[in-house]
Amino acid sequence: ALKRLHADHPDETELVELGRSHQGRPIWALHIQDPKAKNTVPVLIDAAHHGSELLSVLYALDVAQTVLEEKDDSWRSTLDLWVVPLVNPDGNHTFLFQTHWAGRKNGRDVDGDGTVGPWEGVDLNRNYPFRFSALGESGSRSYPLHYWYRGPTGGSEPEVQAMMALADRVHFSAALSFHTLGTIILSPYTIDGVDNPSPDVAWPLAKRMASAAGVQVNGKAYRVKRKIYPVDGTSQDWLYHAHGTVAYIVEGTHHNPKTTATRSASVEGMRPLYRTF
């Protein structure tokens, strides 16, 4: 999909390999910027830190396609946009081709036996180094086969390193990270025990995005929350702390809806939210 968008818009896009996963799969970004534009604002859109969250990938791809194909070119003239639809290609492959019971985590061989079982791997959205493991066994887990295994050290995973290197290079002003599910916008900081700057500039924008989105295909409206449950080592909190990026996690309406109609309606319902962003 990214190659097609790049082929259709070669002057405004750049296809960039950010890095490789544990199992050697590329992590692709589509860089979108009008070459004639000046003083653009750097923005990051990413998805599928958890490879099993398929709908999140569609949200990110829709952002790229909408920005490039809509008649209103205001986004392209004002934004330096980076879209990374599949942060965790190994987990995605596990979910699609091995078992639907796994795929949230990446492809790390945690026991070092040369093979990666479906329960191995690291939860990438517990691996970022800001307050890594700060909440002990409540925000993430030290047990390697747990669903929320955080990894051996903060920033240990190549997928996380690729995303951090991009952020260190570009210094994003704002970011949206798509996940599933919950119909929720998480406004930073989401970790317990860390105070937001005053005034809290992130929260009012999150409320505006939620209001613009309206009632979704699941009959719910987006809510703004600081957290769903205790969590540490997230991309959102690291971006906010490291670079002042106004970074949000957006939990979509469904996990992996089976019908095209539901998927399409969920993607369409996301558009007013990210357009407001």
Q: Angle 159-118-16 (CA atoms, 0-180°, nearest 5)?
A: 25
Q: Does position 72 have pLDDT exceeding 80, yes or no?
A: no
The pTM of this model reads: 0.98
pLDDT confidence tier of residue 18, bands split at 50, 70 and 90: very high
User: Which residues sit opposite 223 in a β-bridge?
Assistant: 184
3-state secondary structure of 3: helix
Query: Which H/E stretch holds residue 53?
Result: none
Cβ neighbours of 74 (radius 10 Å): 9
pLDDT 10s digits, 148-188: 999 999 999 999 999 999 999 999 999 999 999 999 999 99
